[in-house]
Every structure is written in C-alpha cells, then in structure tokens.
A and B are shown apart, each in its own frame.
Chain A
C-alpha cells in the first residue's frame, strides 16, 4: 500500500540517502510523491486504466499506441505531432527549496513514465483516502501521450542555487513586433507540454503532475490546443490552422536528422553540458481576428499567406510541397509570392537559412468578453537550438501582411533538457 497518508508516513524514509533531516508540510507531501514515483518504484502492469501497448505494435487498436518515455531526446518534440495539447506552466511557490524542487522533478519523472506507458498514477486507492490518480482518463486509450518538461529563465535566479547552471541563451524574449503581452499568459518557472491524440489524456497528465507538485509549484497559466497545426513527420498530412490554410508544410520533419542537428537539438555550442541533446521551447499565444479574416476575399487571403488556400501550393506554382520560387514574377511584373507574404518573410531563404521545428495547436478561450468575438487562434510552440532563431524570424515578420489579422498576446521560453535513460530523473543532470 503506497497511497495516501499511510504511504506518506512510510515513505518518509525514502529514497535512501535523500532524507536529510528536513521536515515540514511541503517536504512531507513532496516525499509522498517521490516515494510513489521516484527511485524506480513504479508499479507497472496495473490493469484497467488507459491502456497502452508497445510502440508501433502492428495491428494495435486505435489509440492504444504508446510513445517511449525514455530516449536520447525527450518525447514530444520530433514525435509525430499528436492531435491535442495541454500546456501548463507553473511557478515554484515561495518557500520551496532546492531539495523540494529536485524531489518534485524525480516524482514527476516517475508519474510521467507511468502515464506515458498507459498506466494510471500510483496504485489503486483506499476507500478512506483521496484517489491517487484523479481518474478522468480511466478507460481512455493512451493515444500516444507524451510529456515534455522545460525550465524557464526565472528558475535560474537565486532561489535554488541554479544561477551557475543557467544557459547563456536562456532569457526572456526581447520586445518583438506585433505583440501586446498579457502577463497572465507570459513566462513561468517550469512548463509541461502534454500531447496526445485524446484531449482528456493530455489534460489528465498536466492536472496530475500539477497535483503532485502542490506545495512546491503552483499553476501559472495553461492552454489547451484542440487541433494540431503542424506536421512533424512526412507520414502526416498537413493540417489547417484557423485561417483555413495548411500550416507547417515546410516544417522540419522527424525524418530530417540533419536539419534537427543543425536547428533543433542543443549541441556542443552550449555553455551548459546538462542541456546537450535538449532543445529550447518558445511558446507564443497568437490571437487571430478570425471575423476580419473571414471577410477578406479569397485572392487576398492567398496573397497574405503566399499559398493557394485549397491546395496549399505556393503562389509561384506547383503543388503543396513545391519549393516556393520567391523570385518568380507574375504576368503583371509583380512577385508571384508578394513581398509581404507570410511564407516569404518566414522562410529560411529570407532568414539566413534558419529553420525551427513548429509544433503549434489551434486554441480557443471562448469569447472576447469585451467585443463578443471569437477569442482564439494559434498556440504556437516551436523547438530550436537557440531562442535567437525565433527572435530573428519574428523580427523579420514585422512587415508580414498577416499582422493585420493576428496579434501575439502571450510568450514564454523554456530550456528542455535531453531525454532520460531508465533510472534517470528529470533534474538529475541539472542538480548534480
């Protein structure tokens, strides 16, 4: 029995060598989690919850596919983009210590590994104890759940003795064009990106990790994505964003290892060895003024983007995956892809060869309380070797024709550590 208060009492002795005499409510609650999920004490093979089956098992029932939690890189980056997102950022609460944080990361690792394998968090609960797992995903197929962790710039301030571990490239983004950031959707000490083809499973992951973290971390802001807008594998069809256009046609794909090494994975260039094999995550909440967009005539919409709406082909001709010919002019002598078209200004050709791995989702927060219009757009997520890649691209988009219809309202940047081997925990490398 390892659930509830009894488990907490029992596990205050564990993990070996870590109980260094600190006590107090938050410490004790945390160790409950650490005992449950840390130190490899994962109770495998629990029956009846959201069922997993081995990755790529042929003939697996829909939704039962699992994505390996362990690997050289964290899952959820080049994993073929799942359909749904739950993205939570959290701040470490005042008074929490370095040890609290380290223990939480260990506890999270265990819980995340369980959930990724299609198991529920912890063991079955006692009648007189609150259920360990919140339970809403029971019976839902695991649907390729991944959880990706990131550390925000503020985590490396003087609270946890991590200042010397701060990567030089990790800093809040500078002011960028076409943004008016809502502090309520900006920054965060930590982030969890949970992706799954099942919305409930993704939400469940963030909810349960946050619950385990109570007393150490608290919610900062959260966003749910209801439709992927990027393709991260050549095996996937290109989805459409809320503008009705295909998005991510030229994205970096899982199959392009060379592009990943050059543009996505942190390598030898970093000043922080713990981050090698990791990546930077830039999140931007981008509101789309969809009513205004919907009133624009088709030919103009296509000029704004630089692609045909239905086929996705660049206006320079060909089919969706034809390389845009930015030099081509139309019969009228004007560039076929206009000078201020979105795909021109965002292209590697226009930005010194820079690529980023986009992994965004459509979102809605309901209705704008003031205007009564739809409050939604693109929750943009991208992974890159250095956040300066995003800064360069967004700066280049200052003259984007699309700016008439979109506005950046939230922003955050996180350093995502590399993947783990079984037995390793998030934070081990950071705190060692």
Chain B
C-alpha cells in the first residue's frame, strides 16, 4: 500500500473489449476533496473509466488506485471507500425506498446499530423524505435518481463516482442535484461524468476532456479557456444603423475585426475582436456613445466550454 498524495491515481489505463476500444493510455489524478468533471461525447470512454475505478471489471493494462488501494489487487478495499451511481440508475423496483437503502447499508458494512440513523440521514440529505415508504417502481425519474445518489452516500465514502447524475432530469431537479454535489466537495472527492458542458463549469474544480478513448485535456475550466482563447472578444449591443456602428468600431485602434453577431428589432450585436494587450472596453463604449447610438450591452466574451471542447477535439 503506497502512501497517497492523491485520492485517485490513474496511470496509463487502457481497456479493450476484445478488439473494440474502451480507453487508451489514460492518466490523471484527483486530489482529496476535489470535484473532477469527466467530459466527453457518448462512447468516449467515460463509463469505461468509471467501471474500472469501481472494480466492476479490470483494465487491459495500466493501474488505477483509489486511496492507495489498487482496483485489481484490493477490490474489496476499494469498493468500501467508494459510492457509485451507474448511468442507468439501477434500482430494485419492487422494494420501498427505506428498505432498499437499508439493504445497501448492510451490504456496505454499516454496523446494525447505526444503520437506521445513516439511512435517515441520507434520506434527509437527498430530499426523499416524502417518498421514503413508497415503492421505487412508483417513483418519478427525479426521485429515483435521488434514491440512487442516496445509496451511494450511505457509508460516507471517501470517493463518489457518478455517471451522468443529471441526465433526464428537469431544470429544477438538475439544480438540486448540482447543489448536492457541490456540498460534497471538500470532504469527499467526486468524479462525475457528463456531456452537458455548462454543468462542468458550474460544479467542477477541474475537468478532464476525453475523446475516442484518449485524454485530450486536464485542467480547470478557467485555465482551459485562458489557454485556448486565442483572441479576446468583446460583445457590444447597440441601437442604430448597423453599418455605421461597424465602421465606427473598426476605426478604434487595437480592433482587429468587427462582425455582426445578432440582430433583434433595432438592436444589433457585434463581436469585436481585439488585440491581446489592453482592454478596449472603455474605448469601444465611448465610441458607441459618442456616435449617438444607444449602448445596450457590452461585455467580454469568453470561449464557451463548448467551443473549447470542439477545438480540442478537432485538433486531434
């Protein structure tokens, strides 16, 4: 058992299903208390990596360690320290919620005396108090997902591995789950996978981008944006004749190009690309106001994670 600096360590992980590729040479580590996002299109290897980490099946080569325990050599120790929610949120539909949770409390090794308390605690935390006695088969998708998450939290695991935890939920439910996940970070380490980009920037400390089984990037969302944003861009919305506004803006020193981005009624939006040095926002704002046009909105435009993702993926 090696000493751990990182809670999760993955080195050169490769998995092939026969000849079909799962993941190829993936390496990363997650520190204690971090919320790590796993981003990638469907079929990119997110679920494969998670299944290897949870000891569902072993890798073809490479190592994966959780809290210092190797997933192949000490699977039972690894499983004791993780909580896992698979993508399909599998549940025993014929059981009532509390019975289901009590079963897993026993399976996870929670001593009998503490089981009741733990189950109650997790029911409160996940907001399933009102349906605790109902049969799981009769619950809506949102509640089922919460029961699944509750199951993974029962034994206060060191590591939480969630495969697409917000898929198929309505906006309110998604916010609830995200808040729940954010409240876990710090004490517990979380890996969550998703292909919903805004989710990553909202909940995760760092993000891993994976594409066709290979790691494409590992960094904080902010860093990724900073490194990959090539040209600082400013969005300006103003009321007035588009052609005139465009001419005026182009004349501002430091402006590289002005493109029309949107138009609604009288208000036209422009994307103004500027040189890297110096923020030209004040200049641009003054230009619009001096020209007599009404300035509606002005702000810097960051590359969205979407654009970063596509850029990284098409680079390969």
| A and B from one complex | no
